[in-house]
Amino acid sequence: MAKKIVIDAGHGGEDPGTSANGIVEKDLTLKISNYLHKRFDELGIPNEMTRTGDVTLGPDDRPTKAQSFYGNSKDVILLSNHINAGGGDGAEIIYSLRNSDKLSNMIANEFAKSGQNVRKYYQRRLPSDPSKDYYYILRDTPNNESVIIEYGFADSTGDDPNLLKNNWEELAEAVVRAVANYAGVTYSGGSSSANTYTVKAGDTLWSIAKKLGVSVDELKSKNNLTSNALSINQILLIPTKNENVSEDDSADYYVVKAGDNLYQIANKYGMTVEELKSLNNLNSNLLSIGQKLLVKKGSDSANQNDYVVKKGDNLYQIALKFGTTVDALKSLNNLSSNLLSIGQTLKIPSSSSSEIVYTVVPGDNLYQIAQKFGTSVSAIMSRNNLSSILLSIGQKLIIP
């Protein structure tokens, strides 16, 4: 049965939603929803929007509007787009009690591939009647497959504000990939995924390399692949001309690692995103592992052995910034707790330390493991060639 999509831009009109760090929820959810509408049109998936402008939709109006297009059929997917608040960091997906977690899991996987950490995907029950969904947009859209997507926290002290302001198209494209694959529709990338290839049935690294005019070794190197095994719907990064940046000794360059984004790299070298993009002739925010970027000479703060703690810092963020772990930072600096003080000087461990092999135990998930070791979900997935966030007890993971 062909799927149809209803796109719900959360809040609107007299209800702005959350506002922080220059982000207004009602405005960003509308931009995301317009993007999804355009991309689903391109993929030939029928779709409608609950609002196309800055209008107010109340708890009674919104579910009614959502079901006015395709009714309460089970082949309708409702995507309710939101921006979170409360000081956390990362995406969340809430799915209705009547549905399985399959779609939410697929969205979580695609977020991770796009560099956004996922806190959780879950269901929430109404305290006064646990047989019903807590959120009215799920509760009052019977039979539809309804999910709430929280793309990140506007008030986060982590990287969410930058991702939401500057990388929202890539996050929206992650949802497009997940929904297309879930609906059984052949996915083709939009402008934000021009440098990626989605593996199809029958593909091999050799056939893909031949089709794209690159070598198998280049594909494996760019995607940090340790074998020739591929999985259907796996996203491969394609070598671009920006990888051929001169390695002249007079030029400084940075090699992109798993989990990197333009905003982190620009901040690391004291540059703006626009300066970084201009210097490297980039026309999108998409990066590929192993890509070489020109940066300002002599401005790499990561070459210093010390780091001075700033307002809003925590050990996890500092460890992630310098490619180390919280435990390594605490050990080197003789810290007995995670508490930091502004102006405190921390010694940064050498980046030459060996990788860690971690054995999965009951209750583990990738997000907890990434947080424990001060890395990202996408970095772990890339290093271990994982195409899913599902883990098995006893599985060995290499922690970058």
Helix (H) and strand (E) counts in the chain: 14, 18
What integer pLDDT is reported at residue 245 of this predicted model?
A: 41
Residue 153 pairs with which residues in a beta bridge? 84
* Cβ-contact 116, 161 below 8 angstroms: no
C-alpha dihedral sign at 21, 86, 114, 271: positive
**Nearest alpha carbon to residue 278 among 290, 264, 265, 295:** 295
Task: Note the Cα 304 to chain centre separation in Å.
Answer: 29
Q: CATH classification of 4-183 is 3.40.50.12280, yes or no?
A: no
What integer pLDDT is reported at residue 18 of this predicted model?
A: 96
Question: Which CATH architecture describes the domain 196-237?
Answer: Roll (3.10)
Question: Residues of 13-25 as b/e, b for ≥16 C-beta within 10 angstroms?
Answer: eeeebbebeebbb
Query: Is the pTM above the cut of 0.75?
Result: no
List the domain boundaries for the chain: 4-183, 196-237
Q: Can 4-183 and 196-237 be said to share one CATH topology?
A: no
**How would you write the pLDDT of the chain (400 residues) with one tens digit per residue?**
689 999 999 999 999 999 999 999 999 999 999 999 999 999 999 999 999 999 999 999 999 999 999 999 999 999 999 999 998 999 999 999 999 999 999 999 888 887 788 999 999 999 999 999 999 999 999 999 999 999 999 999 988 998 899 889 889 999 999 999 999 998 876 644 446 777 778 888 888 877 776 777 777 777 667 777 888 777 777 765 444 444 434 346 777 776 677 777 877 777 777 777 777 777 677 777 667 777 775 544 444 467 778 877 888 778 777 767 777 788 777 788 888 887 788 877 765 444 577 888 888 888 888 777 777 787 788 777 787 888 888 888 878 7
